[in-house]
Chain A
Amino acid sequence: MAVKLRTPLSREDVLRLRAGDIVHLSGEIVTARDSAHRRILSLPGEELPFNREGAVIYHCGPIVRKKPDGWEIVSAGPTTSSRMNRYLDGILSLGVRGIIGKGGMNPEPFKGRAVYFAFTGGAGSLAAESVERVKAVHWLDLGVPEALWVLEVRDFPLVVAIDAHGESLYR
């Protein structure tokens, strides 16, 4: 059975989850890839354009379409998370409680503070169905895939692949 959760995530939310759980996540999530991670960690916390406490970061570089009244997400699956291992501890230290991606990450930094959610790599058209709207975009100078897309999602179906207790589904 799927657990329903809403962002921002609390420490209690996160500690309740176990590797293998299915979660339907709603609320705000923020996309970030390699260059965005570098920029996030180079700025003082108060200058970041999103709320850090309980935030969920999505390793994703979407396909977007410009509309008269804003942006539409066309396809938005996860990118390979292990490229972001080097930034993980710094990112979680900001108060981020969830990472969404594919392929897994180092489990150690998640212990006691955050979880790693996996979404199916390549299933970008399906992921886009969970995106209700684009709330904002920042850092478009990094290019469309690398910008920070602030998304409102509804019932995004995810697997807890690394929990806050040191368990991981990856072998």
Chain B
Amino acid sequence: MLLLVGALVEAIRLAVTRIPADTVDTLRKAYEEENNGIARFNLENILRAIEIGRERSIPVCQDTGTMTFFIRAGVESPFLKELEGAIIEAVRRATLEVPLRPNAVDVLNGKNSGDNTGRGVPVIHWEVDKGDEVEIAVFPKGGGSENCSALAMLTPGEGWEGVKRFVVEKVRTCGGKPCPPVIIGVGVGGGADYSLKLAKGALLRKIGERNPNKEIAKIEEELQEEINALGIGPMGMGGKTTALDVKIEVAHRHPASFPVGLAIQCWANRRAFLRLKPNGRVEIWQ
């Protein structure tokens, strides 16, 4: 249990102090291709902030978010009973040790719990799988980008054209608010709640990694192109790059429904993964 808590603290630290290599490479490319002066100012600040975060091991963005975990739990893992407690304890410890910003606030009296825990927080999504290993995605989700999440219940007649129109329009009206250049997650089908969960989970995919379905991959590319053509640019002050990538995940839908969930991740693409083997060995990566 103690070892697991320690490993989770390290995964949280990794997620908030280091931006994954795929994201840094894409941001660097955006900087090289940019000729708008203000956009370059912002991208330069972004690349320097990433360096400072890594060198000094401090959170790159002060909004270390709502701590969110996606767990894929093998039913034969001997650690299932301890997992939830270990995660909550790790979030408390990380708040002091990394440190994280305390972001859990009571909805009625507005009181901050001070340690990033509270009713329903950290958010933990469980998925039961076969096998004896547990895989945990650590996903600190910032408020600015989260506020641009949206759900559309399209009519089936609107179809994929409707999906594109909805996503592009929402990204346009959000402008600089979610800290572009952003990563766009889209979930289609499965019902209202599930489409949003799919959208958020999609953000954990590596940049440049396309949906394995060719048709969906094509829509991802088209959407990215349309969004970048909006010219919102870094921080909404104009420029070539608004979306670093677009990720779509799908589930079957009810014949009467066409739910579309939209989740946006800021350029500070916080994520880390942890695998827990049945012998207690842990692997952490980004």
Contact = CB atoms under 8 A, between A and B. Distances in A.
B78 interface: no
Interface stretch (A48-56, A89-97, A122-130): A122-130
Interface in A127-141: 127-129
A98 interface: no
A122 B177 contact: no
B59 A157 contact: no
Contact of A122 (B46, B52, B56, B232): B46
A115 interface: no
A129 B52 contact: yes
Contact of B177 (A103, A125, A142, A144): A103
Contact of B60 (A75, A104, A145): A75
A63 B37 CA distance: 30
A102 B45 CA distance: 13
B112 A145 contact: yes
Interface residues of B, number: 46
A22 B267 CA distance: 22
B102 interface: yes
Nearest to A144: B102
Given A121-B176, A171-B232, A62 B237 contact: no
Contacts of B147: 80
B102 A122 contact: no
Contact of B144 (A80, A118, A169): A80
Interface in B55-109: 56, 58-64, 99-103, 105
B53 interface: yes
Contact of A104 (B37, B176, B267): B176
Contacts of B267: 122
B264 to A, nearest CB: 12
Nearest to A143: B112
30 contacts: A22-B41, A35-B110, A61-B101, A63-B62, A75-B58, A75-B62, A76-B62, A79-B63, A79-B144, A80-B177, A103-B177, A103-B235, A120-B42, A120-B45, A120-B46, A121-B266, A122-B49, A123-B60, A124-B59, A125-B53, A125-B56, A143-B105, A143-B112, A144-B101, A145-B112, A157-B41, A159-B38, A159-B237, A170-B176, A171-B236
The 3 A-B residue pairs with the shortest CB-CB distance in the complex, in nearest-first order: A143-B112, A123-B49, A124-B62
Interface of A: 20, 22, 35, 60-65, 74-77, 79-80, 82, 102-104, 118-129, 142-146, 157, 159, 161, 169-171
Given A102-B179, A121-B235, 8 more contacts: A20-B38, A75-B60, A102-B177, A120-B41, A121-B144, A123-B49, A143-B114, A159-B38
Interface of B: 37-38, 41-42, 45-46, 48-49, 52-53, 56, 58-64, 99-103, 105, 110-112, 114, 142-144, 147, 175-177, 179, 231-232, 234-238, 266-268
